[in-house]
Structure 1
Amino acid sequence: MKWALIVLLLLFNLVQPIQPSTNPRTVDDPVYWSLCEGMDSKDPLVRKLAKKGCNSLCKKKGWYYGACRTVGVCTCI
């Protein structure tokens, strides 16, 4: 009976989709902090590249998208 319960729990865990947390999280790697530094630039191309860089980094890490919430901080959601 104990084994049947363990097998059922394992199967239940496999059926549930694995999703990243929906809580915003700041990327804690200092290498990527400068991604959003260009957000205070007057050049629209620089701002666009900063947004795209943050977004693609977060997607590579398994999050839904990334956004520059403040200058210099890339936040993954």
Structure 2
Amino acid sequence: MTAFVSLIITVFVQVFYLLFKIAQKCKLTLPLIYLLLATISTFFSRWVPEHESLVLTGLYILIGMTVLRWIYVLIQKVRSV
């Protein structure tokens, strides 16, 4: 039983590591953290489900800022070529 729990924890940590590496490459780390916190807080509070539109608006703003960052980096790369 202990080996099984250890295996589950190891797989869980590896999946989170991979998820954050992909998010880092795509410049989506902040929206990913925000989404994870909103998901985790759903289990501990009634506030998130009651204010779902506010939570999603915050997520959309962070994703919009990320897209603007992508555009900014793309313009810098085009200008440097």
Which fold has the larger relative contact order, with Cα–Cα distance below 8 Å and residues 6 or more apart in sequence?
A: 1
Larger radius of gyration: 1
Q: Which has the higher strand share?
A: 1
| TM-score, reference length from structure 2 | 0.29
| TM-score, reference length from structure 1 | 0.30
